[in-house]
Chains A and B, each alone.
Chain A
Amino acid sequence: MSTALDVHGLTKHFSTGGARLFSGRRKVHAVDDVSFSLRPGTITALVGESGSGKSTVARILARLHDPTGGSVLFDGQDATRSEILRYRSQVQMIFQDPFGSLNPVKTVAHHIERPLLIHGIVRKKDVAERVRELLTTVGLVPPEHIARKYPHELSGGQRQRVAIARALAVEPRVILADEPTSMLDVSIRIGILNLMLALKEERELAFLYVTHDLASARYVADEMLVMYAGQIVEQGPTEDVLQNPLHPYTRLLLSAVPDPRAGLRLADVSARGSHHSGIDPVAGCRFVERCPLAISLCRQRTPELVEARPGQGARCHVTAPAPEVLHA
């Protein structure tokens, strides 16, 4: 199957303050060696806690940040070198805060018109008509009425739909959704998720769904990537990853999600230590402080992402050992 976007070895380091006299600034490894592909007609979930680097990955793919290393290939070409306007007509983004991602002093119509005009999607006289079509597509009716409104006159769910309509305006192939539902009321989230599913099917879009909510990722995503401390620690088809997780961090996440079917589980969560800060990491697995399965190799060598089962891989010496390690 052809891919819409290919990511290879993506790396992003930020330098942080706190430079010491002789040791220079410390580096935050926000993203380290991240590789995956987005395919048309697929929703890929990028799951992780805050600080895992998932939002940074999305922003690099949206070309809001430049990567420190690695490459992003779009249509086989290096995206960081390709013409930016063309890239933006193919890759769009939806942000987490529905209110923050809309300009408070501009109407809904403005937000959707601008991409149409910038990229010349339709002729000037057809713009209003296209705006109405897009609003109808995302379920905001009657569109003429909504188009005149300002963001503060809409509810959270409506605003997010406007953001989706804006993203759809340029007829992109890839949509990067950065936690699109986490700031919405619970009863409205499903509506937005269903809209994403419908768009994926109707338009063969490739979605990157960044979230910390495993349950919603299960609901919409075909593929799942689990991130920890800037690295992808597990990837594979969603059901496989969730039902048979390889990486201990995935197992930890699964056991921590509230599930009304069980009581307050006290024994499952064996989380020791604290979240890896990603600052100046040393060699070895970044999860080692909290891992119940850690062996001595885990402190010495950073594990590679190894495909332990067909289509499913993890970055763990114990559950997904690299072949040469097995025979060592």
Chain B
Amino acid sequence: MTDMLDHPMREAPAVEKESLVELRELVVDYEIPGRRVRAIDHIDLTIHAGEIVGLAGESGCGKTTTGNAILQILREPARITNGQILFQGEDLVALSREQLRRFRWRNVSMVFQSAMNSLNPVMRVGDQFVDMMHAHQRISKRHALAQAGELLRMVGIDPDRTRSYPHELSGGMRQRVIIAMALALKPELVIMDEPTTALDVVVQREILQQIDALKRELDFAVLFITHDLSLLLEFADRIAIMYAGEIVESAPAAELYRAPQHPYTQGLMGSFPPLTGPIERMIGIPGSPPDLSNPPTGCRFHPRCPHCRSEDAVLYERQIADRPVLKPVGTDHLVACHLVEEGL
């Protein structure tokens, strides 16, 4: 990758922020009669207050499952079989259903994939807000509608549109409505799962700008789940890269862009053709993500890794037998890779 920057991409947070959500040794299994598929395999992840954490990976890596796990909305046959999800120190896995119900949306909310298509087509937008608010607090309809109008204004939509039906709004506006709903109860964390994937690149940028402005105003943290690494490099404070159910690298965005350590991250970066600069032949990453019901032994990336060669016998033995663990390689930069461990 060409090196770039004289100017930093995003200002690193100056103050040490307290951790808002912490995943420790989290394991999520899909239990099917006859076999078990481990969708998430002992991951550790920390989200600080007011931070934008990007979770990047390709299909089947487990990133959506992670988001669902935090909100405890995993559906059968998926189950959390190990680990803790700490929210401000409290373990969510241990909460009762009633406590969870209060916790959801009030402390952590979510913007789902293609959420803009999940608005009720036969209800006005304002009424859908009212519905949602009634589920969480006692509030009069008039009051709720007023709040809905305020929320719409906050996301850049004319408050009169509370009277509109979803099909009367454009895709970008619908997505903003969804974001407004997610922010209605002023949660501390909003999980966004591919919020802009179905949108035009111009609208996508508008939405991201909107989220950024809202974040300044309301100070919430964001877990931004997407496959679009280039987006995260611009938008996120920290990025965690997931592969086959594991987190293989995690670093501040600028650092990750400057010096990606894990071969998978490097391969991913090498999969985005540049818009400026010389056009060179790129390679991408050969092969496909593994079948999680029968993942490769040792390092899960080893079948596709350009640095895994049987000629380097000793290293190769480790790569196919031992699972690499996240280890620090710089300030705030963690990598799970045998090569990096050996200093190669």
Direct A–B touching in the complex (beta carbon < 8 Å)? yes
Binding site for B on A (CB under 8 A): 49-50, 155-158, 185-191, 193-194, 212, 214-216, 218-219, 242-243, 252-264, 266, 269, 271, 274-275
**Roughly how many angstroms separate A157 CA and B285 CA in the complex, as a whole number?**
12
From A187, A216, A253, A263, contact of B273 by CB (8 A)? A216
From A185, A215, A261, contact of B4 by CB (8 A)? A261
Q: Are A194 and B230 in contact (CB under 8 A)?
A: no
From B200, B227, B282, contact of A190 by CB (8 A)? B282
Query: In the complex, which residues of chain A have a beta carbon less than 8 angstroms from the beta carbon of B229?
Result: 186
Query: In the complex, which residues of chain A have a beta carbon less than 8 angstroms from the beta carbon of B276?
Result: 243, 259, 261
A selection of 13 A-B contacts at a CB cut-off of 8 Å is A49-B201, A50-B200, A155-B289, A157-B288, A186-B229, A187-B268, A188-B285, A190-B284, A216-B273, A218-B275, A256-B201, A256-B205, A269-B206
Q: Closest residue to B227 on the A side, CB-wise?
A: A186
Known: A242-B275, A261-B4, A261-B5. A187 touches B284 (CB 8 A): yes
**Roughly how many angstroms separate A190 CA and B267 CA in the complex, as a whole number?**
11
Q: Are A185 and B234 in contact (CB under 8 A)?
A: no
8 Å CB interface, B251-303 against A: 257, 267-268, 270-276, 279, 281-286, 288-289
Q: Which of A257, A262, A264 has the most CB of B within 10 A?
A: A264
From B209, B275, B289, contact of A257 by CB (8 A)? B275
Main secondary structure of the interface of B (DSSP, over half): loop
Query: In the complex, which residues of chain B have a beta carbon less than 8 angstroms from the beta carbon of A193?
Result: 273
Query: In the complex, which residues of chain B have a beta carbon less than 8 angstroms from the beta carbon of A271?
Result: 202, 206
Say yes or no for B128: interface residue by CB 8 A criterion.
Answer: no
Q: Are A269 and B288 in contact (CB under 8 A)?
A: no
Minimum-distance CB pairs A-B, first 4: A190-B284, A260-B233, A219-B273, A187-B285
Say yes or no for B137: interface residue by CB 8 A criterion.
Answer: no
Query: In the complex, which residues of chain B have a beta carbon less than 8 angstroms from the beta carbon of A257?
Result: 201, 275
Query: In the complex, which residues of chain B have a beta carbon less than 8 angstroms from the beta carbon of A194?
Result: 281-282, 284
Query: In the complex, which residues of chain B have a beta carbon less than 8 angstroms from the beta carbon of A263?
Result: 7, 9-10, 234
**Roughly how many angstroms separate A30 CA and B32 CA in the complex, as a whole number?**
47
**Roughly how many angstroms separate A263 CA and B285 CA in the complex, as a whole number?**
27
- The smallest C-beta distance from B275 to any residue of chain A, in angstroms, reads 5
- The smallest C-beta distance from A298 to any residue of chain B, in angstroms, reads 19
Q: Closest residue to A290 on the B side, CB-wise?
A: B202
**Roughly how many angstroms separate A5 CA and B230 CA in the complex, as a whole number?**
36
Q: Are A269 and B209 in contact (CB under 8 A)?
A: yes
Given known contacts A186-B271, A187-B284, A252-B202, what 14 new A-B pairs fall within 8 Å (CB)?
A: A158-B288, A185-B59, A188-B284, A188-B285, A190-B282, A190-B284, A215-B274, A215-B275, A216-B273, A218-B273, A256-B201, A259-B230, A264-B234, A274-B170
Main secondary structure of the interface of A (DSSP, over half): helix
Q: Closest residue to B8 on the A side, CB-wise?
A: A263
Say yes or no for B73: interface residue by CB 8 A criterion.
Answer: no
**Roughly how many angstroms separate A186 CA and B283 CA in the complex, as a whole number?**
11
**Roughly how many angstroms separate A54 CA and B276 CA in the complex, as a whole number?**
24
Say yes or no for B90: interface residue by CB 8 A criterion.
Answer: no
Complex interface bits, B177-201 against A, C-beta within 8 A gives 1, otherwise 0 = 0000000000000000000000011
Q: Are A260 and B284 in contact (CB under 8 A)?
A: no
**Roughly how many angstroms separate A259 CA and B206 CA in the complex, as a whole number?**
15
**Roughly how many angstroms separate A185 CA and B271 CA in the complex, as a whole number?**
10
Q: Are A260 and B59 in contact (CB under 8 A)?
A: no
**Roughly how many angstroms separate A255 CA and B208 CA in the complex, as a whole number?**
14
Query: In the complex, which residues of chain A have a beta carbon less than 8 angstroms from the beta carbon of B202?
Result: 49, 252-253, 256, 269, 271
- The smallest C-beta distance from B230 to any residue of chain A, in angstroms, reads 5
Query: In the complex, which residues of chain A have a beta carbon less than 8 angstroms from the beta carbon of B282?
Result: 190, 194, 219
Known: A212-B201, A252-B202. A190 touches B283 (CB 8 A): yes
**Roughly how many angstroms separate A284 CA and B267 CA in the complex, as a whole number?**
46
Say yes or no for B127: interface residue by CB 8 A criterion.
Answer: no
Say yes or no for B44: interface residue by CB 8 A criterion.
Answer: no
Q: Closest residue to B275 on the A side, CB-wise?
A: A215
**Roughly how many angstroms separate A130 CA and B276 CA in the complex, as a whole number?**
41
Complex interface bits, B54-70 against A, C-beta within 8 A gives 1, otherwise 0 = 00001100000000000
Q: Are B205 and A269 in contact (CB under 8 A)?
A: yes
Query: In the complex, which residues of chain B have a beta carbon less than 8 angstroms from the beta carbon of A185?
Result: 58-59, 227, 288-289
**Roughly how many angstroms separate A252 CA and B59 CA in the complex, as a whole number?**
30
Query: In the complex, which residues of chain A have a beta carbon less than 8 angstroms from the beta carbon of B279?
Result: 218-219
Query: In the complex, which residues of chain B have a beta carbon less than 8 angstroms from the beta carbon of A275?
Result: 170, 200, 203
Q: Are B58 and A187 in contact (CB under 8 A)?
A: yes
From A186, A190, A266, contact of B209 by CB (8 A)? A266
Say yes or no for B204: interface residue by CB 8 A criterion.
Answer: yes
**Roughly how many angstroms separate A262 CA and B268 CA in the complex, as a whole number?**
19
Q: Are A190 and B234 in contact (CB under 8 A)?
A: no
8 Å CB interface, B199-240 against A: 200-206, 208-209, 212, 227-231, 233-235
Q: Are A190 and B271 in contact (CB under 8 A)?
A: yes
Query: In the complex, which residues of chain A have a beta carbon less than 8 angstroms from the beta carbon of B284?
Result: 187-191, 194
**Roughly how many angstroms separate A57 CA and B285 CA in the complex, as a whole number?**
32
From A50, A186, A187, A254, contact of B275 by CB (8 A)? A254
**Roughly how many angstroms separate A63 CA and B36 CA in the complex, as a whole number?**
47
Q: Are B208 and A264 in contact (CB under 8 A)?
A: yes
- The smallest C-beta distance from B228 to any residue of chain A, in angstroms, reads 7
From B5, B233, B272, contact of A215 by CB (8 A)? B272
Q: Are B231 and A258 in contact (CB under 8 A)?
A: yes
Query: In the complex, which residues of chain B have a beta carbon less than 8 angstroms from the beta carbon of A158?
Result: 288
Query: In the complex, which residues of chain B have a beta carbon less than 8 angstroms from the beta carbon of A218?
Result: 273-275, 279
Query: In the complex, which residues of chain A have a beta carbon less than 8 angstroms from the beta carbon of B285?
Result: 187-188
- The smallest C-beta distance from B266 to any residue of chain A, in angstroms, reads 11
From B10, B200, B268, contact of A264 by CB (8 A)? B10
8 Å CB interface, B1-27 against A: 4-5, 7, 9-10
**Roughly how many angstroms separate A293 CA and B288 CA in the complex, as a whole number?**
46
Known: A258-B231, A263-B234. A188 touches B288 (CB 8 A): yes
Q: Are B272 and A264 in contact (CB under 8 A)?
A: no
Known: A219-B279, A258-B230, A271-B202. A186 touches B273 (CB 8 A): no
